[in-house]
Amino acid sequence: MGGNYFGTIFRVTTFGESHGPALGCVVDGCPAGIPMDMDALSGELKRRRPGGGGPATTRIEEDIPEILSGVFEGKTLGTPIAIMVRNTNQRSGDYDALKDVYRPGHADWTWEAKYGFRDHRGGGRSSGRETLGRVAAGSVAKAFLREYGITIRAWTSSVAGIEVPGPEDPGFDLAEGEKNPLRIPHRETAVQVLEVIEQIRADGDSAGGTVSCVVHGVPPGLGEPVFGKLDARLAGAMLSLGAAKGIEFGTGFAAATSRGSIQNDRPIPAVVKALGLPLEVPGAGYQSNKAGGILGGISTGMALEFRVAFKPVPSITKPQQAMDRRGMVQELIIQGRHDVCMVPRAVPVVEAMTALVLADLLLLHRGARIRTEQ
């Protein structure tokens, strides 16, 4: 019955439903003395919240956080941190007709098969709105990671089959990604994709895409053998998101068609730094990160690089065939307010889950060995 918490030492429990009175999280295991910036917390929730225009739902929520415990005079106390956000703009009546119908592509049937009944209002806890608690907890984890100089940045890297230029391409600008509702860090591509999204909306359909993430400042050595590998923990975190369907690290699936002589990483700069050697040693300028900063399930000291694939939003206004509790098939047109593409709003969620994994592994790493002076 542990499906609502995440982590070993830095542990998070999320609570709440899409149309309930509130959602939130309880963070336990965060060390004391970490500065907590309410503006930063509010900013993270603002990045995730609905009503942002473009491909997002028209549901308007202010998502104002309330810290109920664990913080005093702007710093963490080392005790459980409870954060709550009240729902203020539910329209539960939009879902009355779906009470006895299993929507295609949704978790309606599987949740009812597991629990015997379900909250049909917006999907209840299976709604994407559940990620609000993750983002709030991730803000706490990010504050902790900042003490170690670790930064996490994610962006929309593809939508509806359109690939976005990457960091190595001209015009890539992460600041630009925070200026448009698609979170695409490339202005010309954002304009192109927005036109496609509007056509998909007009067709009553939805689109999927990918989110790319890069983490800088990760020290070598993070990751637990054998079942707590860094890439396994990140994969589990990302695939716990309702719409996530795949993840790849570094070159990902392309590695399957590569050769060892091409694919093998030699993280020389990170090794040189970790050993305290001068950077001018032979080969110190060489860099290869095809494994995405992870070898043997443990961080190399190079940047973590991975990409997460998200399926299209299943709530569409096109007519579909659906089954009800009587086993009868009927034509269904889903009403309500829904994203055309939820990928842009997944960007801060991917960052949050990454932060939670790294915060937990960083605390676990402290007990990995007895440290001696060199």
Distance CA 58, CA 50 (A): 7
Domains of the chain with bracketed CATH: 5-365 (3.60.150.10)
Mean pLDDT, the chain, integer: 89
Among 10-14, 86-90, 142-146, where is mean pLDDT lowest? 86-90
- 320-324: strand order across its sheet: 101-102, 320-324, 329-332
Residue 19 pLDDT exceeds 50: yes
**pLDDT tens, position by position, 292-321:** 999 999 999 999 999 999 999 988 888 888
The predicted model gives 330-346 an average pLDDT of 85
Give the pLDDT mean for 362-368.
93
Q: Is residue 276 exposed (0-12), middle (13-18) or buried (19+ Cβ within 10 Å)?
A: exposed
Indicate whether 245 pLDDT > 80: yes
Three-state DSSP string of 66-96: EEEECEECCEECCCCEEEEEECCCCCHHHHH
> How do residues 246-281 score in pLDDT, each as one tens digit?
999 999 999 999 999 889 887 777 776 777 776 565
Average pLDDT over residues 164-178: 95
Enumerate the β-bridge partners of residue 102: 323
DSSP 8-state symbol, 35 = B
pLDDT of amino acid 210: 98
Q: How far apart are CA 212 and CA 248, in angstroms?
A: 10
Q: Is the pLDDT of residue 43 over 60?
A: yes
What pLDDT does residue 287 have? 63
pLDDT at 366 over 80: yes
pLDDT confidence of residue 374: 44
Decide if pLDDT at 336 tops 50.
yes
